[in-house]
Amino acid sequence: MEHRIIVAGIGPGHPAYVLPAAAQAIREAAVLVGGARALADFARLGQRIMIIRGDIPAVMAFIRESLATEDVVAMVSGDPGYYSLLDALRREFPPERISVIPGISSIQFAFARLALPWHDATLLSFHGRQPAEEDLAYLPGRLLGMLTDTKYNSQTIAALLMERGWPPETRAAVCSRLSYEDETIWRTTLEEAARSEARKNCVMVVTESWR
Ligand SMILES: C[S@@+](CC[C@H](N)C(=O)[O-])C[C@H]1O[C@@H](n2cnc3c(N)ncnc32)[C@H](O)[C@@H]1O
């Protein structure tokens, strides 16, 4: 039987928000791939590990070589289906060799913290990319949920949205370190966020009212 890649979503970070099925796959993995933070939290002695840094071809080569003898568990933050290594894995390996265990996306977790339904939200990623202009345009009643990075952070995104017609008094929630002890939810406005210190690698939720 061919060995498989199990892509396990680990949620926003705290082990309490990892699905039991993902925790079991990670615990039982002979070969474990993940970011440095995830490996520090979840790897056990005796597991063969590879840290995902920037070099995706090297990660793919390691997985391909490992699959000759073992299943490989790849841990990704949040949900694998929402901006994760799964994209690159799908380009490299046939779908029959990939199993996905879902996780709680950081976006989903942010809306939960705000007790805000997200079925009408426009979900966007600024993580290493810029969303399409039509998704950023101001529309009355529009609700945005956004991944950020270091360049596109709470300050630069707030300024960018105001340049696209969003009123300065629009409400924004900047959700950092979700699920961890030092989690913060900063409720502010676009105007204030644009002139305040940048918060990076967080989730931003923007709306005219929290209703
Ligand atoms: C490469 S994306 C991964 C998204 C992930 N697949 C998901 O479903 O949440 C990384 C971005 O997710 C967001 N993120 C992940 N974990 C987070 C957390 N604990 N608190 C706030 N934002 C988080 C940040 O915007 C971060 O820059």
Q: Could you read off the pLDDT of 81-132 as tens digits, one per residue?
A: 999 999 999 999 999 999 999 999 999 999 999 999 999 999 999 999 999 9
Biggest distance spanned by C-alpha atoms of the chain? 59
Residue 1 is predicted with a pLDDT of: 74
Q: Do 172 and 115 share a domain, yes or no?
A: yes
- Domain with residue 183: its CATH number is 3.30.950.10
Q: Do 183 and 142 share a domain, yes or no?
A: yes
Domain boundary among 73, 104, 135: 104
pLDDT at 211 over 70: no
Q: How many residues does the chain have?
A: 211
Distance from Cα 202 to the centre of ligand 1, integer Å: 7
CA-nearest residue for atom 27, ligand 1, is 201
What's the whole-model pTM score?
0.94
Q: Do 36 and 72 share a domain, yes or no?
A: yes
* Distance, CA of 77 to CA of 22 (rounded, Å): 12
Domain boundary among 104, 131, 148: 104
Percent of the chain with pLDDT over 90: 97
Q: Do 150 and 194 share a domain, yes or no?
A: yes
pLDDT at 171 over 90: yes
Question: Which of ligand 1's atoms lies nearest the C-alpha of 103?
Answer: 8
Q: Do 87 and 10 share a domain, yes or no?
A: yes
Burial class (CB in 10 A: 0-12, 13-18, 19+), 190: buried
Q: Do 147 and 192 share a domain, yes or no?
A: yes
Contact 206, 118 (CB under 8 A): no
61 φ, ψ to 5°?
A: -65, -40
Provide the domain limits for residue 183.
107-207
Q: How sure is the predictor about 208, in pLDDT bands with cuts at 50, 70 and 90?
A: confident
Distance from Cα 95 to the centre of ligand 1, integer Å: 24
Domain total for the chain?
2
